[in-house]
Structure 1
Amino acid sequence: MCGRYTLLAEEVEILKEFGLDHKIPNYEPRYNIAPGQKVLAIIHDGKEKRAGFLKWGLVPFWAKDPKIGYKVINARSETAHEKPSFKQLMAKRRCLIVADSFYEWQRTDEGKQAKRISPKDRKLFAFAGLWDKWGKDEEDMFTCTILTKEANEFMSPIHDRMPVILPHEKQEEWIEPVKWGADEAAGFISQLKTDELDAYDVSDIVNSPKNDDPECIKPIA
């Protein structure tokens, strides 16, 4: 799964990396982004790419209670095209969720060890995400979830799942307003190559979303 990540880049770096023409209102770097918080995402509205903030934790448009979002921070890419919560989103509401590393916890004999993980050769990347709009009593809520897949050889000793990290050359294609079916979107994800990753141990202060400062990414021996 993916339950925490970072985005430390300056705004100008993000604009350049993703070819965005407009500034990002209220952007600030983050060391410990957690579910339920606002996350930077990029969508294509049919005319242009737009960056903005979505709440992490998907609330489908048909949900009766928005609290469902706390349970839907990830979606399995292998089955998302079959699930009622995600099928239409795979076809029509795909997004990029901007990041530069993510955290995962590895089980050890001493307990769980937090690790910071990132691609070896990329300073910025995007998770493959899905988004939706939920509205009730004239209050619209825009939410998202991160797609995951089975862990690769590098990640499997750490966790059995990992987020889908889009290759640089596939980012645009994922959010293009093309008439994909849900099955086609799933096929696209299944054929992606995975970046080589690096990881190092960090302090368990990342366990609490209240901690959001440089100590979160500081390596420990």
Structure 2
Amino acid sequence: MCGRFSLQTPVPDLAELFEADPSRLDEWVARYNVAPTDEVIALRRGTGGRELVSLRWGLIPNWAEDRASLPPMINARAESLETRRAFRDLVIDRRCAVLADGFYEWRKEGGLKQPYFIRRRDRRPMALAGLWDVWRGPDGTIPSCTIVTTDANGLLEPLHGRMPVILEGEGAQVWLDLDVSERTMDPLLPFDAEALEAFAVSRRVNRVATDDAACAEPRSAPIREPSGWRERPPVGDAPADQLGFF
């Protein structure tokens, strides 16, 4: 799954890299601990081409009676997109990519859950496959999104059985195309394990309110192959109860 991520890359750089219009995007500051219900930057294709927009992370289906009637859908399994009511219509014309520099996963080590940060080895921002929708209520509209997940690759399987779908190249073009085709679902596969790396970070990231550069600072050498995982002592943080972690 994907429950936390970071995005520090400046908007002008994102706009250039993804060849997208940022004019509809709200002001964005570097984020090191993006959590569900936060605003995120998404890439989608509009009638005038690719655009960057701000969406709430945690899909609220347009047919929901009220915002609280369903829990926020932060992830959507690739295998269920075409059958689950909340997603099947969105696959047709509301596909997007949530932008991130990397994401966090946790691994139990020495009786504690140790967070790890996963990023591309080339340090390029990630385009995570997503779906978006707009919920309309008495107080206005809320555009929201979910991140699509698939089976974890060999590098990340020791952390979690699922991982976000990372798009690039032709796969990104197919997913973001305005039209739906027999190829639309093809990009929803595990990303190349050899293109990723993971490293331990501070347990400060456990707290949603903590959002600074220290959240993503390496506390271990990068792990770049499955054999790199092993039991290790907890990273040198203060005990969780002293920091109010959960």
TM-score, with structure 2 as normaliser? 0.82
Post-superposition offset of 1:218: 1.5
Distance 1:68 1:166 in 2: 31
Tell me the equivalent position of 1:179.
Answer: 180
Residue aligning to 2:154: 153
Q: 1:109 Cα shift?
A: 3.2
Which residue matches 1:37? 38
| Structure 2, unpaired ranges of 5+ | 221-246
Look up the match of 1:27: 28
Q: CA deviation at 1:70?
A: 4.2
Superposed CA deviations along residues 52-99 of structure 1, whole A, max 9, x for unmatched, are 110000000111121356441000001111111100111110001111
1:79 is aligned to: 80
Query: Is the Cα–Cα contact under 8 Å of residues 150 and 160 in structure 1 kept in the other structure?
Result: yes
Q: SS of the counterpart of 2:82?
A: helix
Counterpart amino acid of 1:146?
Answer: I
Pair 1:95–1:10, CA change in 2 (3 A): same
Listed one character per residue, the Cα deviations across residues 90-128 of structure 1 (whole Å, up to 9, x for unaligned) are 111000111110000012232211000011124212000
Distance 1:57 1:28 in 2: 20
Q: Which region of structure 1 is more displaced relative to structure 2, 140-149 or 20-29?
A: 20-29
For the 8 Å contact 1:42–1:49, the answer to whether it is kept is yes
Unaligned ranges ≥5, structure 1: none
Deviation of the 1:38 alpha carbon: 0.3
Residues 1:142 and 2:148 aligned together = no
Cα distance in 2 for partners of 1:144, 1:162 equals 17
Pick closer, same or farther for the CA change 1:194–1:82 going to 2, 3 Å. farther
State the partner residue of 1:103. Answer: 104
Tell me the distance in 2 between the aligned counterparts of 1:143 and 1:21: 19
**Structure having greater relative contact order (Cα 8 Å, sep ≥ 6):** 1
**Cα RMSD after superposing both structures:** 1.8
Return the offset for 1:21: 3.6
The total of aligned residue pairs comes to 218
**Larger CA Rg, structure 1 vs 2:** 2
User: Cα deviations across residues 128-161 of structure 1 (Å, max 9, x unaligned)?
Assistant: 0000011022511100000001111101011111
What is the CA-CA distance between 1:11 and the residue it aligns to? Answer: 2.0
Asked if the contact 2:167–2:187 (Cα under 8 Å) also holds between the matched residues in 1, the reply is: no
What letter corresponds to residue 171 of structure 1 in structure 2?
A
Question: What's the counterpart of residue 197 of structure 1?
Answer: 196
Between the two proteins, what is the percent identity of the paired residues?
A: 35
Partner of 2:197: helix, strand, or coil?
strand
Equivalent residue for 2:217?
218
Q: Confirm or deny: 8 A CA contact 1:36 1:70 kept in the other structure.
A: no
Partners of 1:68 and 1:42 in 2: CA distance: 27
What is the SS of the residue equivalent to 2:208?
coil
Note if contact 2:107-2:113 (Cα within 8 Å) is conserved in structure 1: yes
Distance in 2 (alpha carbons) for counterparts of 1:21 and 1:143:
19
* Cα distance in 1 for residues equivalent to 2:9 and 2:74: 23
C-alpha distance in structure 2 between counterparts of 1:84 and 1:96, whole Å: 20
Tell me the CA shift for residue 172 of structure 1: 2.8
For residues 144-201 of structure 1, what are the alpha-carbon distances to aligned partners after superposition, in whole Å with 9 as ceiling and x for unaligned? 0000011111010111111111124422321111133xx75334424x7535210100
Instruction: Please tell me whether the aligned partners of residues 66 and 137 of structure 2 are also in contact (alpha carbons under 8 angstroms).
Output: no
